[in-house]
Chain A
Amino acid sequence: MTALIQIRELSKTYRRGNQPVPVLLGIDLEIAEGDYVSLMGPSGSGKSTLLNLIAGIDKPSSGTLLIGGIDIAALGENELAAWRAANVGFVFQFYNLMPVLNAFENVELPLLLTNLSKAERREHVEVALAMVGLADRMDHHPNELSGGQQQRVAIARALITDPTLIVADEPTGDLDRTSADDVLNLLDRLNGELGKTIVMVTHDPKCAARARRRVHLEKGVLLADADAEH
């Protein structure tokens, strides 16, 4: 498989006041298209920072970050926003749904940045919501859905634009075991059936075990890279 994500000597340093705080130190990593990777490590290891860089919502301090051959660190704000809209699906720990929008409208959100007609958007949203098993919950607002259902809506939103890459930050962190399994099953399907490349940050070893490949970070350094039979 060709590498979708190519990371070379990637570093990230934040500033706290005048004090530089290094978070990632010279990361080298390649992730193949269609792969399913979990990023693991203790708090402060830099796994979420690495995920944010891969998702294009943060910029590296140095190093190279190519996604699909595009150096996303070199893109301007607006180009980067357009790139994210077309190429990345986001799944957050706390779902990050718009509370004033119902499930249908939340899933439809990313499609507003496309040229699809209203009828086409409706068709896409209905398919996505059916795929996550929430066809009968379209009119429900987030506060009328359980945590697991909200995360499934978020997954439908993540896949609605048919992105190459799905990034998930602790997608089961706020869920009970059953709901977490449902969400992980869904991610399995997105990877297995639709061929989506998934990069997932998790603390949970059971959750990480669902990925094909587990990458460990500690203190900003890549420690180990283990392939798993899936």
Chain B
Amino acid sequence: MLAGYVLRLAGKNMLRHRLRTGLTLAGIAIAIVSFGLLRTVVDSWYAGAELGAAGRLVTRNAASLSFSLPVTYAERIRRAPGVRAVTWASWFGGIYIDEKHFFSQLAVDASSYLNLYPEYLLSPEQSAAFQHDRRGAVVGRKLAAKYGFKIGDTVPLQGTLFPGNWSFVVRGIYRGADDKTDENQFLVHWDYVNETIKNTLPAQAERVGAFIVDIREPTQAAAVSAAIDSSFRNSLAETRTETQKAFQLGFIALVDTILLAIQTVAYVVVLIIMAVMANTMAMAARERTREYATLKALGFRDGFVAMLILGESLSLSLAGGALGILLTYPAANAFHSATRDLFLIFQVQPLTVLLQLAAALLIGVSAALAPMLSSRRVQIVDGLRAVT
């Protein structure tokens, strides 16, 4: 009975200073939204890595990603036990209009690449058109929508890694099999690029950035990787084979410090609101010193008063937290719209919501601790004399 009463009384106390309560609720909600958004930013960086199919491996130069491999490796990789198919891709890195209009461009083996990426859905007609046109390109739906690319459009690119002025004709626009598929790719023919650079950049001819390997049994990824790498041991270009997920994580490791900073800021935001909330609760409890002393005089124990303070603090923090969690979703959508080029997917994960809830709980409990202890220390006679 008393627990229910504590909650009701805590709720009523919460509404005594509506402006103060409103501002505190807003502060908690903003902190929880910020916490959720920052965590989602970090999650979204890693989400790209999660997209890699478990059955796909990536073989690259063991020295560094910036070194290429001979295309002739493809045959030896295909012969490795457990390998079903092989394709390859090179980072093209051209400039469209200017550097601000960045999007991912890959020179791929047109005959095999799309077979290894069944999540890129392309009509048979468009696929055939791409195969038959060496200057053809396949564009992701979102990228096409962003720049207004249509079938038959010519897209000029200024080469950087592969010097020269290039132009590609859009022959296909793929869509993703699900909302986790990257629809921002620009794929061109590796053959076309390779033939062209034989004259301008012969040292880079017949070389590829990485091989993508389809394996029969995903559980054998480690063994197949080891088999591939061992077959190139002591060669001029040793290889490093890993799952596509591990490969993507390798990229993310480059921005690890930034992600750590973002995560730290997320927790600092919670710490700040904990301090603000603690101040609010201390103020509220100080104002009610005489009321708490009256309750104790009437026979209520210290624990009841402590629960009253904790109940009010938790009601406030959980209400603010719930509001913050609800607002995180529209805020995340707005954030994603503004940063669509940066994040393939930007979804608030269930773990983030749980952590938001835990943060709200922690804010409530920590803010109540000092006033709870202080109310226990105050003698009834001193409390009754308190001027409020």
Contact = CB atoms under 8 A, between A and B. Distances in A.
B372 to A, nearest CB: 16
Nearest to A55: B297
A58 interface: yes
Interface string A110-123: 10110000000000
Contacts of B2: 112
Contacts of B5: 112
A104 interface: no
B299 A86 contact: yes
Interface string B1-22: 1100100010011011000000
Interface string A25-69: 000000000000000000000000000100101100000000000
Contact of A96 (B299, B379, B384): B384
Contacts of B302: 77
A100 B13 contact: yes
Interface in B288-333: 290-291, 294-302
Interface centre among A55, A101, A112 (most CB of B within 10 A): A112
A28 B2 CA distance: 40
B354 interface: no
Nearest to B291: A98
A96 B289 CA distance: 11
Contacts of B16: 99-100
B291 A58 contact: no
Q: Which secondary structure characterizes the binding site on chain B?
A: helix
Given A92-B294, A99-B16, A112-B2, A78 B381 contact: no
Contacts of B299: 81-82, 84-86, 110, 113
A116 B297 CA distance: 20
A100 B9 contact: yes
Contact of B297 (A90, A99, A113): A90
A113 B381 contact: no
B301 A78 contact: yes
B380 interface: yes
A78 B301 CA distance: 6
A97 to B, nearest CB: 8
Nearest to B379: A58
Interface in A137-186: 157
B381 A57 contact: yes
Contact of B1 (A96, A98, A110, A112): A112
A207 interface: no
A5 interface: no
A96 B294 CA distance: 7
Nearest to B10: A100
A54 B28 CA distance: 46
A86 B298 CA distance: 9
A81 B294 contact: no
A109 interface: yes
Interface in B1-55: 1-2, 5, 9, 12-13, 15-16
Interface of A: 52, 55, 57-58, 77-78, 81-82, 84-86, 90, 92, 96, 98-101, 109-110, 112-113, 157
Closest CB pairs A-B (n = 8): A85-B299, A100-B12, A57-B380, A96-B294, A84-B299, A58-B381, A81-B299, A52-B381
Interface of B: 1-2, 5, 9, 12-13, 15-16, 290-291, 294-302, 379-381, 384
8 contacts: A58-B381, A77-B301, A84-B297, A99-B291, A100-B15, A101-B12, A109-B295, A112-B5
